[in-house]
Amino acid sequence: MSLHTQYLESFLRSQFYMLRMDGPLPLPYRHYIAIMAAARHQCSYLINMHVDEFLKTGGIAEWLNGLEYVPQRLKNLNEINKLLAHRPWLITKEHIQKLVKTGENNWSLPELVHAVVLLAHYHALASFVFGSGINPERDPEISNGFRIVSVNNFCVCDLANDNNIENASLAGNNFGIVDSLSELEALMERMKRLQEDREDEETSQEEMTTRFEKEKKESLFVVSGDTFHSFPHSDFDDDMIITSDVSRYIEDPGFGYEDFARRGEEHLPTFRAQDYTWENHGFSLVNRLYSDIGHLLDEKFRMVYNLTYNTMATHEDVDTTTLRRALFNYVHCMFGIRYDDYDYGEVNQLLERSLKVYIKTVTCYPERTTKRMYDSYWRQFKHSEKVHVNLLLMEARMQAELLYALRAITRHLT
């Protein structure tokens, strides 16, 4: 993240506030919730970090033996943790009512909002961790059993050096420099054409809806089971064996992402963004129940959405707005969220298939991300630009989870 210092400051401010500043939840609870969230994606890097923090802030060591050792009210978060992580569109006001109903294990609304913000933050952060190749492997020779090493041959020392990555990925593929350059030129040409077309023609609302439905259905065919078998596995196993030290923090480990647009599930209504937006609805609700976090999250969302250096690989003075918007909106599309004023035809023009595979994996099944996927898209781009993509994906995912959860809380309140 330090490749993008402006964003990093904003990220650290909001994370510090969630974990350390005044808020509805006691400090050990905050870290335990972070552990529960990271465990949904088997993200041992984040789990280990928060196990330490949990103990440092006075957490009861016995809770780390697993969910059967924690208070019932924490255990009650299991369902919402699971749905938020994998299928947030299934969250209803009934889930909220169950958690806040009166009784000794109930959650107050401010506590629940704090918990939901933490869950969404750590699910999304797991996407960033795996997308950037940061996850520890077990090392029996080290006292705590872990060391930070490369994942799938991601070399941590390379991460700070754009040129290494760039040269390594160029040398390591069969396409050669010429194809990579023409791929880049072609993308820039498409961006330019889209800008011009937008000025020339008005697309009808009907056509916009059709294009969204088409993109949503097409996302079904991105990352099929076969795709995974075609990748050479290094640290990855087909069945993703979940180690006991991770699975103890979750229930129903088999529950995972399923496409919003699954065939035969036509009854799931699309989330029309303008009916419940972050700016007009989510922001004020969060701020009312957990003061100031709304401002910090809003700043972070805006920061990543508008972050640009006006460069693409070796080119300068490039307006990357259409590309950033396509990345953000494609994530929301996979989560069933649609913007009326956005032409989803742009997604298909700007995001090639290997990039879509990467986006869907990082966003929906981050623990399956491989170095090969990372290298397979935008071969001419700098590593810092790919980290920028990961930041956009992380924030788009967090916002999607929050929109569904906050909409359910709003419905409970009304």
Identify the helix (H) or strand (E) that includes residue 271: strand 271-272
- pLDDT value, residue 266: 58
Radius of gyration of the chain from its Cα atoms, rounded to whole angstroms = 21
Arithmetic mean of pLDDT, 77-100: 95
Report whether 335 contacts 306 (CB < 8 A).
no
Global confidence as pTM: 0.85
Report whether 389 contacts 382 (CB < 8 A).
no
- The Cα–Cα gap between 149 and 163 comes to 20
Question: What rounded mean pLDDT belongs to the chain?
Answer: 83
Helix (H, G, I), strand (E, B) or coil at 311: strand
- The Cα–Cα gap between 321 and 33 comes to 35
- Which amino acid, 125? L
- pLDDT value, residue 263: 54
pLDDT over 70 (residue 172): no
- pLDDT digits 0-9 by tens, 349-406: 999 988 999 999 999 999 999 888 899 899 889 999 999 999 999 999 999 999 999 9
pLDDT over 60 (residue 23): yes
Arithmetic mean of pLDDT, 296-324: 93
The long-range contacts involving 305-314, CB below 8 angstroms and separated by at least 24 positions, are 305/392, 305/395, 307/4, 307/6, 307/7, 307/388, 307/391, 311/385, 312/184, 312/187, 312/188, 312/381, 312/385, 313/184, 313/378, 313/380, 313/381, 313/382, 313/385, 314/380
- pLDDT value, residue 211: 78
Rounded to 5°, angle at Cα 345 from 342 and 349: 125
- pLDDT digits 0-9 by tens, 104-129: 889 999 999 999 999 999 999 999 99
Active site residues: 43
Residues with Cβ within 8 Å of 311's Cβ and at least 6 positions away in sequence, in order, are: 318, 385
Structural domain boundaries in the chain: 1-136+182-224+246-413
Report whether 231 contacts 373 (CB < 8 A).
yes
- Residues recorded for the chain: 414
Q: Which of 96-110, 202-216, 281-295 has the lowest mean pLDDT?
A: 202-216
Burial annotation 362-384 (CB, 10 A radius, 16+ → b, else e): bbbbbbbbbbbbbbbbbbbbbbb
pLDDT over 70 (residue 232): no
- pLDDT value, residue 184: 85
Arithmetic mean of pLDDT, 88-98: 95
Arithmetic mean of pLDDT, 23-40: 97
- The Cα–Cα gap between 295 and 74 comes to 27
- pLDDT value, residue 182: 80
- pLDDT digits 0-9 by tens, 360-373: 999 999 999 988 88
pLDDT above 70 covers what percent of the chain?
A: 81
- Which amino acid, 227? T
- Which amino acid, 69? Y
Report whether 150 contacts 166 (CB < 8 A).
no
- pLDDT value, residue 219: 72
pLDDT band at 216 (very low <50, low <70, confident <90, very high): confident
Q: Which of 173-182, 305-314, 339-348 has the lowest mean pLDDT?
A: 173-182
- pLDDT value, residue 272: 87
Residue, of 187 and 173, whose pLDDT is higher: 187
Q: Which of 64-68, 131-135, 329-333, 364-368 has the lowest mean pLDDT?
A: 131-135
- pLDDT value, residue 74: 96
